Amino acid sequence: MNTGAPVPDSYYERIDEHRYKPTVHASGAWDPDELHFSPLGGLVVHAIERHLADRTTDRTTDRTTDTGLVIGRISFDILGRLALDECEIQVETVRPGRTIELIEATVLVADRAVVRARAWLLAALDTSAVAGGAPAPLAPPDEVAPWDMASLWPGGYIASVEVRPLAPPQPGRTTAWISTALDLVAGESASPLASYVGLVDTANGIAVRQPPTAWMYPNVDLTLHLYRQPEGRWTGLDTTVVFGGTGHGVTSTVLHDVTGPVGSAHQMLTVRPQPTAGA
């Protein structure tokens, strides 16, 4: 008889208004005792959206006023080790406005700031008459077979996602669809954007240029630029990884949903050899 605790079906569980507890599914690929940044990035977007909704809610009617602003860019700076522990997310409006607004979020673990995020919100207007310049859509995910990414990377997060590459992954170059059956926060409905962002940081792990057992190349940031709001349960990552000769690298990704491209993402990497045993 199985007497173990039930396996959670989310990446985080809410503790109170601003604090969240990670589940086993949020553990990282470089170190299972750390948070994987993908679901944490989605959680930050979720917290920002709650901040915006609370700010525009009429407490007398409990109705939320749509400001017409959407996130056009969000950047994350990773300030230190992301311990697999409960976190607090503080959100503030840095630059209010009717057509352009800047929001900042800070993630704290053990009262220490570990991530700072800034989101530019822009007015949503009908510019379909002049839209153009985006790359071609990807082949849909139902036309490609899954890949066992957990054979290359450890951690609860990697084990929780479904990865479907459009072709066999190559060193430094892969295009793949990513999805998950898990909720971002237990018992809460996350927006399509928060769910989408919660998978984007996977890009640095799908286009492996060198084996992670021999080399380390964690990212110190993640920046997304969006010209369309993503929809659906699949995140498409058309990813290229470049290592320079002085310990730096860049992961560049064209972002897609099942309808087509939505924007781009970049990650700055610190490239270094894995420490040898006993060194």
Q: How many domains does the chain have?
A: 1
Write out the residue range of the structural domain in which residue 109 sits: 10-124+143-273
Model pLDDT for residues 20-78, shown as the tens digit of each residue: 999 999 999 999 999 999 999 999 999 999 999 987 665 554 554 567 899 999 999 99
Average pLDDT estimate for 121-132:
94
Give how far Cα 219 sits from Cα of 109, 145, 158, 198, 216, Å.
19, 28, 16, 15, 10
Residue 58 belongs to domain with CATH number: 2.40.160.210
Q: Tokens for 27, please give them.
A: 């553990």
Task: Judge whether 5 lies within some domain.
Answer: no
278 inside domain: no
Task: Name the average pLDDT for the chain.
Answer: 93
Please state which of the ranges 60-64, 66-70, 167-171, 271-275 shows the lowest mean pLDDT: 60-64
131 domain residue, yes or no: no
Identify whether 129 is part of a domain. no
Amino acid found at 140: P
Residue 34 placed within a domain: yes
User: Is 4 domain-assigned?
Assistant: no
How far apart (Å, rounded) are the C-alpha atoms in residues 195 and 191?
A: 6
Q: Is residue 183 part of a domain?
A: yes
111 domain-assigned: yes
Cβ contact 216:273 at 8 Å: yes
